[in-house]
Amino acid sequence: MGGNSIAKGSPGPINRGYRPRPDFFRFSCFLASALTVALLALILGEILYKAWPAINKFGLGFLSGVQWSPNRGVFGVLPVLIGTAASSLLALLFALPLGLAIAVFLSENFLPRPVRQFIRFMVELLAAIPSVVYGLWGIFVVVPLVQQYGAVLADKLGFLPLFAGPAYGNSLLTASLVLALMVLPTITAISRNSLVAVPPTLREGAYALGATRWETILGVILPTAAPGIVASTILSFGRAMGETMAVAMLIGNSQRLSCSLLSPSNTLSALLANQFAEAEGIQVSALMYAAVILVIMTLAVNIAGEAVLRRTQRSLVGLK
């Protein structure tokens, strides 16, 4: 063989003139991600800066205070914190069973595929309706219904603190019902995806063991998809806590503590929307302090939901 021949299996000649080109797409993606993180940090920093006078003056007592009186310079958000948590939890209580039932209906072959796709589209279309439209619908439809049937509840079950009268149209119950409708698409979409992602072998194995269709759904498919259902619940909870316009229009915007579902209440987002335009002095800082609390609560809930959702995805594909 000639001296210039290349041995079998050896690498070919190296092109010494080659220079790797910059990966502009990768750099653009990194830049977009960095800008997003920087923007979030800038927003949090600005809110903290505006809230610092109230944080320095009121401290943690701001969280346990029950009075909100700008004229006297007294600010406390305990009733608002309770209203935020109560309205969100009630919304989940109403939306979770309905959303899970719709998800099961859409993931199984109860109806032809075109019909299921149409129903799925209509449910997910609820997420595209503006919040103010939900608020207007609640004023003209839900408020009269709650006032009418709430009076019956107060008359029959008024001895219970949850249904103590009088029954107001704008109340915690009204806002929770509308919130339930607003978070329904989130619960349905994520739960359906989790149910569809369940391996078909589990279903076939349950049928092979003699299980009926509903025994398979309730005993095999739902437990397997449970982490995804939990993730949809947590994400919906975060969405409900941050909702503003519809809640501000329906909850009654009351700062007093009440155990009754039929009484007016308030949330952090509604408090900010209703009072910020006319606030001045220390009230602005107190409202920004409330905004800091809302941001922390919402971020914590969404981070927890994202972590559960990722764990669900890894478990469904067999990764550890």
Domain segments of the chain: what residues?
A: 24-316
Give pTM, 2 decimals.
0.80
**Quick one: residue 59, left, alpha or beta (phi over 0 = left, psi -120 to 50 = alpha)?**
left
Report the C-alpha gap between 57 and 49 in whole angstroms.
Answer: 14
Which of 237, 245, 235, 268 has the alpha carbon at shortest distance from 138?
245
Q: Residue 111: how many CB atoms within 10 A of its CB?
A: 13
User: Widest CA span of the chain, in angstroms?
Assistant: 106
Which one of 1.10.3720.10, 1.10.10.10, 3.30.1490.270, 1.40.20.10 gives the CATH number of domain 24-316?
Answer: 1.10.3720.10
Per-residue pLDDT at 18 = 54
Answer yes or no: are the C-beta atoms of 57 and 286 closer than 8 Å.
no
Q: Helix (H, G, I), strand (E, B), or coil: what is residue 131? A: helix
Per-residue pLDDT at 12 = 52
Pinpoint the alpha helices (H) of 111-225. Answer: 113-125, 131-137, 143-157, 172-196, 200-208, 213-216, 222-224
Per-residue pLDDT at 137 = 92
Amino acid identity of 294?
A: L
User: Would you give per-residue pLDDT tens digits along the chain (320 residues)?
Assistant: 444 544 555 555 555 555 666 677 888 888 899 999 999 889 888 889 888 988 888 888 888 888 888 888 888 888 898 889 899 999 999 999 998 998 888 888 777 888 888 888 888 888 888 888 998 999 999 989 988 888 888 888 878 888 887 888 788 899 999 999 999 998 888 888 888 888 888 888 888 888 888 888 888 888 888 878 888 888 888 888 888 888 888 888 888 888 888 888 888 888 888 888 787 888 888 899 998 998 888 888 878 777 776 776 676 555 44
**Residue 86, token pair as written in the block:** 């109560």
